[in-house]
Amino acid sequence: MENAVKTSAATAAGPQPAHAAGSGAGPVAVPAGLTPAQTGQRAHAVLDEVARAVVGKRPALELVLLGVLAGGHVLIEDLPGLGKTLLARSFATALGLEFTRIQFTPDLLPSDVTGAPFYDQRSGEMLFRPGPVFTHLLLADEINRTPPKTQAALLEAMAEGQVSVDGATRPLPRPFVVIATDNPIEYEGTYALPEAQLDRFLLRVRMGYLPPADETAMLRRRLDRAEPEAVLRALTDPAEVLAMRASLEAVEVDDDLLGYIIGLVTATRKHAQIQVGASPRGGLALVQLARGRAVLDGRDFVTPEDVKAVAVPALAHRITLRPELWVRRINADDVVQGIVDSVATPRTVPQP
């Protein structure tokens, strides 16, 4: 089976995956189970490696890695030039994952993302050309610049890890991670992400400007290495990433913490300033992200602080504020943080 994508998709996405459609989605030989402690050590090594390229963004880097470990997708929403693309590419390199980038534009078609059948004159058969979505880590750059129909082409891939085209369903490689970027200040020629797609993202990350000291360090690093970007090493591979994900299942979550998580999610549905609260996916996201944060902290049990640390990234993009709040410059992050501050925290003591 030939491995090619339509010309327009190849132009948008750059180098294409080397595997044929579905070939990267076969059984992955996962190494022997990792403990949460081993996963934590590997995760910190990956963070340190990525930090060689992305300066002064450790909290944002940790959130992105939590999204990968928790088996979800990440939306990075911030201003241009803050290193969003570099961050995604650096994680792909350090994790040893195949990387593909799609530049979303108004004329991008769904088939430019998923692939499409074509007629092979040599064999006289219809063959499938896989699109750039057949990869391990997909960077959906400026995802809000393409129409909803093309945005929706990613929904099945993000939710089910598969693509259905022309009556056939093709599994995607494992792991499959989407890191999407969104420019929140430019509205000319953009399309708001529908709620259904926002809910598919496990968390939303904002990077922000560097403090002057860190920005100076970034410039100094650029001068010292005498080349545009740092050259990173691959510290893991796809099979090990799957094993790291599996290790999160060994992290204990107390019943009191489950009640706390449900309390947070329920509060978003009853809050006076929120029109539509978080879906059940919000609770699932809190559980897995809190487990990941516990692993990064060297623990095999979750604490209330783990839940609080990931509540805003996990829930703020899942709620819809009442329209009048936009005029008052109240954003979803502030509202969710207020909920976190108001919901009673359980006094959970881990059992020896």
- Rounded average pLDDT over 106-123: 86
In terms of CATH architecture, what is 251-342?
Orthogonal Bundle (1.10)
Q: How many CA atoms lie within 13 A of 246 on its CB side?
A: 14
Nearby residues of 100 by Cβ (< 8 Å), 6 or more positions away? 13, 14, 15, 16, 17, 132, 133, 135, 137, 138, 139
Per-residue pLDDT tens over the stretch 307-329:
999 999 999 999 988 888 777 77
Structure confidence at residue 21 (pLDDT):
37
Instruction: Please provide the CATH number assigned to the domain covering 7-225.
Output: 3.40.50.300
349 in Cβ contact with 328 (< 8 Å):
no
Which residues of the chain are in CATH 3.40.50.300 domains? 7-225
Task: Quickly state the pLDDT bin for 188 (edges 50, 70, 90).
Answer: low
Structure confidence at residue 350 (pLDDT):
54
Task: Quickly state the pLDDT bin for 186 (edges 50, 70, 90).
Answer: low
- Rounded average pLDDT over 297-310: 95
Structure confidence at residue 17 (pLDDT):
35
- Rounded average pLDDT over 90-105: 94
Structure confidence at residue 227 (pLDDT):
78
**Which residue has better confidence, 15 or 27?**
27
In degrees and rounded to multiples of 5, residue 25 shows phi and psi of -105, 10
Cα separation of the two ends of the chain: 56
Q: Is the pLDDT of residue 18 over 50?
A: no
Structure confidence at residue 32 (pLDDT):
61
Residue 224 burial (10 A CB sphere; 0-12, 13-18, 19+): exposed
Task: Quickly state the pLDDT bin for 348 (edges 50, 70, 90).
Answer: low
- CA gap 239, 260 in Å, rounded: 34
Task: Quickly state the pLDDT bin for 185 (edges 50, 70, 90).
Answer: low
Percent of the chain whose pLDDT exceeds 90 = 49
* 164, β-bridge pairs: 169
Per-residue pLDDT tens over the stretch 22-54:
344 445 555 568 899 999 999 999 999 999 988
* 213, β-bridge pairs: none
Task: Quickly state the pLDDT bin for 233 (edges 50, 70, 90).
Answer: very high
Task: Quickly state the pLDDT bin for 98 (edges 50, 70, 90).
Answer: very high
- Rounded average pLDDT over 186-207: 79
Structure confidence at residue 1 (pLDDT):
36
Which residues of the chain are in CATH 1.10.8.80 domains? 251-342
In degrees and rounded to multiples of 5, residue 107 shows phi and psi of -100, 10
- CA gap 278, 86 in Å, rounded: 30
Q: Is the pLDDT of residue 120 over 70?
A: yes
Q: Is the pLDDT of residue 8 over 80?
A: no
- CA gap 56, 130 in Å, rounded: 37
Q: What does the mean pLDDT of the chain come to?
A: 84
Per-residue pLDDT tens over the stretch 242-280:
999 999 999 999 999 999 999 999 999 999 998 989 999
C-alpha distance from residue 257 to each of 167, 253, 346, 347 (Å): 44, 7, 7, 9
- CA gap 212, 101 in Å, rounded: 30
Q: What is the chain's length?
A: 352
Per-residue pLDDT tens over the stretch 144-163:
888 888 888 888 889 889 99
Q: Which two tokens stand for residue 236?
A: 């893991």
Q: Which two tokens stand for residue 342?
A: 């108001």
167-197 b/e (C-beta count within 10 Å ≥ 16 → b):
eeebbbbbbbbbbbbbbeeeeeebbebeeeb
Structure confidence at residue 2 (pLDDT):
37
Q: How many CA atoms lie within 13 A of 85 on its CB side?
A: 13
Percent of the chain whose pLDDT exceeds 70 = 88
- Rounded average pLDDT over 13-17: 36
- The 3-state secondary structure of 245-304, one letter per residue: HHHHHHCECCHHHHHHHHHHHHHHHHCCCEEECCCHHHHHHHHHHHHHHHHHCCCCECCH
Nearby residues of 51 by Cβ (< 8 Å), 6 or more positions away? 57, 58, 61
Say whether 219 sits in a helix, a strand or coil: helix
Residue 339: count other Cβ atoms within 10 Å of its Cβ: 25
Region of poorest pLDDT, from 53-57, 185-189, 228-232, 298-302: 185-189
The two beta strands, 274-276 and 177-182, are unpaired
Structure confidence at residue 3 (pLDDT):
38
